[in-house]
Structure 1
Amino acid sequence: MRFPVGAGKRAWVAVLLTGVLVWLLAAGVTAITDDLILIPTLFLIGSFLVPVTVVTFALARLDDCRLTSNVVLKGFLAAGTIGVVVSAVTEIYLLPTGAGPVGNALGFFGVGLIEEVSKGAVLVAVAWRVAERTVHGGMVLGATVGAGFAAFESTGYAFWAYVQHTNDHPEMSILQTEVSRAMLAPFGHLTWTALLGGALFAAAAPARGGFRVTPRVIWTFLGVSALHGAWDASYGWGIWVTQGITGNGWIADWPDGTYWEGVPTQREQWTFQGMYDGALVVIALVGILWVVHSWRHGRHAATSAPAASPPVNAPPRQP
């Protein structure tokens, strides 16, 4: 699969804008007609819009990243199906279910470890036979794997929002869930798996096969897992800080969503939103700066790499 030169580089813009228009149209028609048949359309378009835009971006840069469309599409689909299912099953049976500071902390950061392992395994599996590995290729493929994981995961969250509000404007609940997840998607799974993919490709042998575990891979994995866990824990931390600031007292415990056992006041709501959004901005900024640094490092490595020399017994070039 190849896009026309020039126009192909901007195809992701057309996909994004067209998807937004179709998504809003489907939401409007569903709200007016109450036609439940259109609900799955809202699920799919809203959940897959940003991830598919990322895949379109990657497909237009296959030559630049030394990837093939087969690898990119396999990574997207495998992460969204096998990766999501394996992560869910593993989290159910391995993570603690008890409350308390230790259980909550292990729960948040355990999810980060498990899901990053799942996405990393998918990336290695689909890229095992990639002939030429570059840092940029690993980052683009990693972002695609993260996009597939995020798309199918967001579909589940949208369905859960519909189930919870079946008799109370479910269309608005679906839209709110999908808008928030679509806006945050580039700074979550896509960023974390892009970083891990760049590290894995940088450490891999240049020939097919030969993925290696190096200190950079280990530290990158631990770093993105920590960002993932902090992202998931930010909601509880927002409540914890809000209660301390608004005078309800600081609780010496790992924060979670059960700290509000009633309807928060308007001041508490505004304070919480500021704390929660601020935490997400900080975590997202760390990820963005890390991605920029890794991308520049990959560009430097590509330009400074020596040209491959011909085999010793290679026949002489013909004049």
Structure 2
Amino acid sequence: MADQSVGFSVAAGKRAWLAILLAGVLVWLLAAGVTAITKDAILVPTLFLIGSFLVPVTVVTFAMARLDDCRLTSGVVLIGFIAAGTIGVVVSAVTEIYLLPTGSGPIGNALGFFGVGLIEEVSKGAVLVAVAWRVRERTVHGGLVLGATVGAGFSAFESTGYAFYAYVQHTDDHPELSILQTEVSRAMLAPFGHLTWTALLGGALFAVAAPTNGGFRFTPRVGWTLLGVAALHGAWDASYGWAIWVTQGLTGSGWIADWPDDSYWEGVPTKQQMWVFQVMYDGALVVIGLIGVVWVVRTWRHSASHTSTPPTANAS
């Protein structure tokens, strides 16, 4: 009976993410409906918070339930989540304003996209390292999960800002619908963006750190991982402009030898162009997201097989 009870509790813990997701969606839709009917602006922050935090919290819950080879306490997870969403977001925003190039053209736009990716990944990495000093046992799995937690906090708070911006822009034109559209799109993409990129960086940092209470090192593995996730981040941000550029080239508007940006439409796009654009844009995000997911899965499995390999007996 005791063994059955333990098994039940473990299984229930691994399904907690589904309960959080379903309950959160229900409350979120209920709050949206009540807000739309009553026009009560006091309920708008509820929409911001539930819609922006639901998927990041769900993914972190899913990952935490499958972590069995290191000790990530609830305090470490909570601090990482909040610190990334507050300090990380603020520091990266200020840094981007003062360090990124303001010029246009192919070089300026390319540096801008890659620069945003590099700055935000470094900011999240700094938060991760600061929080990880509290972790007593460091494994690659622990780094992946703590990195995903830091990325989740950054994503949740950033999405709240985007939802607020959508509300301000459409105050007199169905603001609740604008909030829902913004949050649905960002929620669907959240697991494949900040959560994936910072998880990879966390796994690399933990892989080269001392197993217990030691310092972190900047090794070639960490450096290449940082450049890789920054490149994925930059490509993700640039995909919108690239989709417009490809769409106009394919639909007869002509190919222009320039680095495209968000304002690359020439005139008002036709219905056909919008369909082509959506396919190009979604396709680009799918490819970039798959690269990150495959990278995470391979890192997780490689670490698991390496950890589970019994030591070779010393034939002496």
Into which bin does the TM-score normalised by the smaller protein fall?
A: over 0.9
Q: Select 1:105's aligned residue among 94, 104, 110.
A: 110
Aligned partner of 1:78 in structure 2 is: 83
> SS state of the match for residue 210, structure 2?
coil
Ranges in structure 2 where 5+ consecutive residues have no aligned partner: 1-7
- Per-residue CA deviations over 1:1-54 (Å, capped at 9, x if unaligned) read xx9433112111100100000001111111111111111110000000011112
Contact 1:129 1:209 in 2 (8 A): no
Number of aligned pairs? 305
The whole-number CA distance in structure 2 between the counterparts of 1:197 and 1:162 is: 34
Within the candidate set 207, 225, 231, 1:226 is matched to 231
Change (3 A) 1:280 1:248: same
**Shift of residue 281 of structure 1?**
0.6
Deviation for aligned residue 1:55 = 3.1
Is 1:244 aligned to residue 268 of structure 2?
Answer: no
Aligned pair partner of 1:204 in 209, 212, 220: 209
The answer to whether the aligner puts 1:191 opposite 2:196 as a matched pair is yes
Q: Structure 1 CA distance, aligned partners of 2:76 and 2:253? A: 53
Question: For residues 162 and 302 of structure 1, do their structure 2 counterparts lie closer, same or farther at Cα, with a shift above 3 Å needed?
Answer: same
Aligned in 2, Cα 1:305/1:107: closer, same or farther, shift over 3 Å?
farther
Deviation readout 1:78-125 (Å, 9 max, x if unpaired): 100000000000000000122111111111110000000011111111
Kept after mapping to 1: 8 A contact 2:64/2:145: no
Residue 67 (structure 1) shift: 1.4
Q: Report the TM-score when normalising by structure 2.
A: 0.93
Structure-1 residue corresponding to 2:5: none
Q: Assess if the C-alpha contact under 8 Å between 1:135 and 1:202 holds in 2.
A: yes
Secondary structure at 1:6 match in 2? helix
- SS of the aligned residue for 2:253 comes to coil
The alignment status of 1:168 with 2:151, answered yes or no, reads: no
Do structure 1's residue 288 and structure 2's residue 288 form an aligned pair? Answer: no
Is 1:41 aligned with 2:46? Answer: yes
The residue number in structure 1 matching 2:96 is 91
- Give SS of 1:7's match: helix
Q: 2:273 aligns with which of 242, 251, 268?
A: 268
1:58–1:72 Cα contact (<8 Å) kept: no
Give the whole-Å Cα distance in 2 for the aligned partners of 1:96 and 1:227. Answer: 20
* CA distance, structure 1, for counterparts of residue 222 and residue 311 of structure 2: 23
Give distance in 2, aligned partners of 1:41 and 1:231.
28
CA spacing shift, 1:306–1:134, aligned 2, 3 Å: farther
Asked if the contact 1:138/1:199 (under 8 Å) is kept, the reply is: yes
Matched residue, 1:124: 129
Change (3 A) 1:58 1:287: closer
Q: Determine helix, strand or coil for the equivalent of 1:258.
A: coil
1:301 aligns with 2:306: yes
Query: Unpaired runs of 5+ in structure 1?
Result: 308-319
Distance 2:159 2:70 in 1: 27
Deviations 1:229-267 (A, max 9, x none): 000000000000001001111111101122214321001
Tell me the SS of whatever aligns to 2:11.
Answer: coil
RMSD: 1.5
Aligned residue in 1 for 2:220: 215
- Secondary structure (helix, strand or coil) at the match of 1:208 reads coil
Q: Secondary structure at the match of 2:217?
A: coil
Which has the higher mean CA deviation after the structures are superposed, 185-194 or 129-138?
A: 129-138
| 1:140 has 2:142 as partner | no
Q: Is the 1:62–1:68 Cα contact (8 Å) retained in structure 2? A: no
8 Å CA contact retained: 2:76, 2:134: no
Aligned match for 2:25, one of 20, 24, 28: 20
Equivalent position amino acid for 1:33 in 2: T
Letter matched to residue 109 of structure 2: N
Q: Which stretches of structure 1, 4 residues or longer, exceed 3 Å deviation after superposition? A: 58-65
Query: TM (normalized to structure 1)?
Result: 0.92
| Matching of residues 175-186 of structure 1 within 5 Å | 175-186=180-191
Contact 1:65 1:140 in 2 (8 A): no
